[in-house]
Amino acid sequence: MEGLIGKTSKLLGLVGGAALALTLIGGCSYQESVDRATNAASQADTAASRAESASTSAQQAAASAQASANKVEQAAADAKAAADRAEAIAAKTETGPTVHRHYHRHIHHHHHAAAAGGGGEPAASAT
């Protein structure tokens, strides 16, 4: 901003000097030259105000763009973290969960007296 104001001041000085030179060369009245210089200075001041306003707007836009860029960067980091978590879950799913299976064998004992002893009745003793 200071550079812009300095340039404007130099511009005003040049305009005033040019107006004075034209007055002397062209034979215009002093008042006419003063009016022209004042008009030129006013126009230069208006232009400087517009430039300053544009500069302020540009700074605000740059700050807004930086804030947006920061939000996008954070969103990208969050998305990457989520993708990493999803990939880790997918890797666990692909290898399959650790399943402990317990097999119980049930052995059924069938006592078939007929098959083992012939009739199921105890043999009589011979006396």
The stretches of 2-29 forming alpha helices (DSSP H) are 2-26
The CA–CA distances, whole Å, from 5 to 37, 48, 120 equal 18, 7, 125
In this prediction, residue 102 carries a pLDDT of 57
In this prediction, residue 82 carries a pLDDT of 97
Low-confidence ranges of the chain (pLDDT < 70): 1-28, 96-127
HSE toward the beta carbon, residue 12, CA cutoff 13 A:
17
In this prediction, residue 103 carries a pLDDT of 58
- Whether residue 78 is contained in a domain is answered as yes
Q: Measure the CA–CA gap between 123 and 127, rounded to whole angstroms.
A: 13
In this prediction, residue 61 carries a pLDDT of 97
Total domains in the chain come to 1
In this prediction, residue 76 carries a pLDDT of 97
pLDDT digits (tens, 9 = 90+) for 17-47: 666 666 555 555 778 888 889 999 999 999 9
Q: Which range marks the domain in which residue 69 is found?
A: 2-93
CB 20 within 8 Å of CB 33:
yes
- Whether residue 72 is contained in a domain is answered as yes
- Whether residue 122 is contained in a domain is answered as no
In this prediction, residue 30 carries a pLDDT of 77
- Whether residue 9 is contained in a domain is answered as yes
- Whether residue 54 is contained in a domain is answered as yes
- Whether residue 120 is contained in a domain is answered as no
pTM over 0.75: no
- Whether residue 50 is contained in a domain is answered as yes
In this prediction, residue 58 carries a pLDDT of 97
- Whether residue 25 is contained in a domain is answered as yes
